[in-house]
Structure 1
């Protein structure tokens, strides 16, 4: 039986991020190419679907049991997979919602805009302190653009590529992420939120400062109902 696109992405991500050696440029771009082939329907989302509930009736003719991409009223996270080495999931944002500036400490992140359009702003630290837990300093803007699907997947690294970024949904949109390693409070990889204060005399630069998680940030959960993934542990039985 032919593997689903999401199974192929899982297999490649597991092979890449579970190895002891640091991933090579070619290996990361192989995963990026697989990510680029994935569409909303490949993760169980009907991007144009309209229904009263985020999850349609499986017998419905229009959405065939898929999640309805236009029906989310809050930012919604669809958890696909997580292990100690990487995680996979989809953020669905209704038009007008903002996922504020946040970082990805010591993480490599591959992202694919599955549908819709979003304004993306991203910074890197200009001078990173030795602790790896910097909470205030000078940031240089590396992304400041409107992204509209279809769009080439992005790659950010622990210290480059826009590790601190935000999304503003201009239309209903969804972003598929592969993060390695995943967020973990226990292992010193929390998600930290930031405010940015532009420096008028230095175009493209801002002072970044840690802030509490915004009180109006609501992230709901929705079930993953795309093609099932057979994980490495399941292969062993």
Structure 2
């Protein structure tokens, strides 16, 4: 809020009203009053305004949203942002912390599965929706210990993933270009990542044809993953033929006796696998939605 100050003319007119009537134009008082009035006028016009610095404060999540709008402004299926824009968004995500989105490991989303040792099902994973438009989407996956997001793809998408806290194992693949398919639902892929990550760590990026477009998340401890997808998946109800999420099972290269003429050296076999499409709703996929209650993403 600005500092209230009376209009300059009103202040000066009140001072004139207090002066002696009909002063001699040649008197010392008259000259002195003119100098004082000029000096006072200068002081009034040069006084700085006070500005409320909190009014212009931008939260980290709002900065993320604004940056996504710039990075994906001309995006679309299969369109990868420029290296400059990719680095711009990655810099924002690298600095993101759990408290920036209102999360803490003690929240109910991250409690371990207490259903007993005999229950081998994957514990529920909570998805918090922050924003979605035609160009991009922002969301957070909250995984309790042993939570699994099965192996899945991101067709024609550029994806940024930031591990906010916890320890997670990530396994990812890219398709082998021009390799013959074993059958209509089984295709050869090359291993990209098979590692464990612990926060704090930098954001990972995958591309439509590279970077591990198919990946699986396995939480070793409670984890939170902030995801930015550009563009987002298509709505299966409004666009049944569009770009949807496909789930896969991965098999070692030697799992099948016939590989349709694909020949690999022994040292290459461990780095390749056959990915087989699964049903649309895998039994080990256990994701529930919840309301995001962190700082506002947009106005």
Q: TM-score scaled to structure 2, two decimals?
A: 0.66
Alignment-derived partner of residue 23 in structure 2: none
In the alignment, is the contact (CA less than 8 A) between 2:189 and 2:273 conserved in 1?
yes
Contact 2:188–2:274 under 8 Å retained in 1: yes
- Is 1:39 the counterpart of 2:97 in the alignment? yes
State which structure, 1 or 2, has the greater radius of gyration over its C-alpha atoms: 2
> Distance in 2 between the 1:43 and 1:76 partners?
14
State whether residues 107 and 179 of structure 1, in contact with CA within 8 Å, keep that contact through their aligned partners in structure 2: yes
Q: Which residue of 2 aligns with 1:167?
A: 217
The reply to whether residue 10 of structure 1 matches residue 77 of structure 2 is no
Higher helix share: 2
Residue 209 of structure 1, aligned match among 250, 258, 276: 276
Shift of 1:164: 0.1
Deviations along 1:22-69, one digit per CA (max 9) or x if unpaired, are: 52111111101101111111111112x25xxx3xxxxxxxxxxxxx64
| Maintained 8 Å contact 1:127/1:137 | no
Aligned counterpart, 1:195: 249
By how many angstroms is 1:222 displaced?
1.4
* 1:61-120 Cα deviation digits (max 9, x unpaired): xxxxxxx64478510100000001100000011101211100000000000000001110
Q: Comparing both chains, which one has the higher relative contact order based on Cα–Cα distances under 8 Å and sequence gaps of 6 or more?
A: 1
Aligned counterpart, 1:227: 295
Q: Is this contact kept in 2: 1:111–1:155, CA < 8 A? A: yes
Structure 1 residue runs without a partner (length 5+): 55-67
- Aligned match of 1:140: 190
8 A contact 2:128–2:290 mirrored in 1: yes
| Whole-angstrom CA distance in 2 between matches of 1:15 and 1:107 | 16
Contact 2:150 2:284 survives alignment (8 Å):
no
Does the aligned pair in 1 maintain the 2:190–2:272 contact within 8 Å?
yes
Greater percentage in strand: 1
CA distance in 2, matches of 1:145, 1:182: 26
What root-mean-square deviation, in Å, do the aligned CA atoms of Structure 1 and Structure 2 show? 2.0
Classify 1:27/1:207 alpha carbon distance in 2 versus 1 (closer, same or farther; 3 Å). same
Shift of 1:152: 1.1
Distance change >3 Å, CA 165–CA 22, structure 1 → 2: closer
2:84 counterpart residue number: 26
Greater Cα offset, 136-145 or 72-81: 72-81
Separation in structure 2 between the aligned mates of residue 227 and residue 188 of structure 1, nearest angstrom: 32
Normalising by the residue count of structure 1, what TM-score does the alignment of the two structures yield? 0.83
Alignment-derived partner of residue 80 in structure 1: 130
Shift of 1:137: 1.0
Length, aligned pairs only: 210
